[in-house]
Amino acid sequence: MRLLSALLYYLVLLPVSLLPFPLLYGLSDGLFILLWYLLPYRKKIVLQNLRNSFPEKSEREIRAIARDFYAHLCDLIVESLKTFTASPATIRKRVNLVNPELLEHYYKLNKSLILVTGHHANWEWPAITLPFHSSHTATGIYKQLSNPYFDLRLRRTRAKFGLKLMSTREVAEFFEAHQSDCCTYGFINDQSPSKPSKGYWTRFLNQDTCALLGAENYAMKYDFPVLYGMITKTGRGKYRLEYKLISEHPATEPRFAITEACVRINESIIRSQPQYWLWSHRRWKHRKEDW
């Protein structure tokens, strides 16, 4: 398995990653034709998610958003591959962080931060460029890949940019060990929880939705300020990131207030640019009545 993975990386993924952006996006255009027209990838899930989220839109509008989503998804795939070989300066030029001073404000106060975002636009590039915008030690939480070879490649690529990764199994121990350090902890907060009984039910995109509580739980336990990273797409391969303060003192907040605020911001971003959210994810596989 390791040999096959290495061959795939060196013979396919690495050569593709070395292509200049114009050729990469040409490849993305070809991949779009494959996924939209020839071998529809999760098309039923995407269309149903859109219909349930936007009942006010016509079928023509729904399919237009879906089509644009697939075009964006293909861009995301080639952008992710580019990360293997791109220099930090190359990626940094493509992410415009408009208020880095907010991060530095808390660094000067020796305050760690909980950074929350969603699967909108490109959530990977803002994460890996964070070390260039903040004096904090940047850490990100991720789900360990089942393939050990590619998990190692992922970690090495992120380390090249200065981002420390911790798997979901390491989070509690990492927080406890580093609570006196000055870190940023990145959470992607809009995926479907594995245990809905431990989540928070709210309305999101016209549907009963179970939200993860991890970011809120750690924020309240350690009283780390919470910022939401609002990521929007401004052009092909160009992204804008702005942080919004959710809570200065989470320990004093009512239960679920932080999570609810994050859900509302995420929803507003999705409604403003619906084609750039991850509609292929089975976000609503859990039903409230079942729990």
Encoded tokens for 184: 């940023």
Using CA atoms, how far apart are residues 138 and 253, in angstroms rounded to an integer?
Answer: 25
**DSSP states of 82-135 as a string?**
HTTT--HHHHHTTEEES-HHHHHHHHHTT--EEEEE-SBS-SHHHHHTGGGT-S
Contact between 269 and 232 under an 8 Å Cβ cutoff? The reply is yes
- Report pTM: 0.94
Structural domain boundaries of the chain? Answer: 2-290
Using CA atoms, how far apart are residues 215 and 185, in angstroms rounded to an integer?
Answer: 9
pLDDT at 165: 87
Using CA atoms, how far apart are residues 215 and 141, in angstroms rounded to an integer?
Answer: 10
According to DSSP, the residues that pair with 242 across neighbouring strands are: 230
Q: pLDDT tens digit string along 221-253?
A: 999 999 999 999 999 999 999 999 999 999 999
pLDDT at 167: 86
Q: pLDDT tens digit string along 199-218?
A: 999 999 999 999 999 999 99
pLDDT at 38: 93
Q: List, run by run, the mean pLDDT of 10-residue segments along the chain (291 residues).
A: 87 95 98 94 96 98 98 98 95 96 96 98 95 93 87 87 88 90 95 88 97 97 98 98 98 98 98 98 86 66
Using CA atoms, how far apart are residues 10 and 220, in angstroms rounded to an integer?
Answer: 44
Q: Where are the beta strands (DSSP E) in the chain?
A: 95-97, 113-117, 137-142, 164-167, 183-188, 200-204, 207-211, 226-235, 238-247
pLDDT at 142: 84
pLDDT at 84: 95
Give the residue from 83, 74, 79 showing the smallest Cα distance to 36.
Answer: 74
Strand 183-188: give its sheet, edge to edge.
95-97, 238-247, 226-235, 113-117, 183-188, 137-142, 164-167
Using CA atoms, how far apart are residues 99 and 149, in angstroms rounded to an integer?
Answer: 37
pLDDT at 158: 85
pLDDT at 291: 66
Collapse the DSSP code of 280 into the 3-class scheme (helix H, G, I; strand E, B; otherwise coil) and give the result: coil
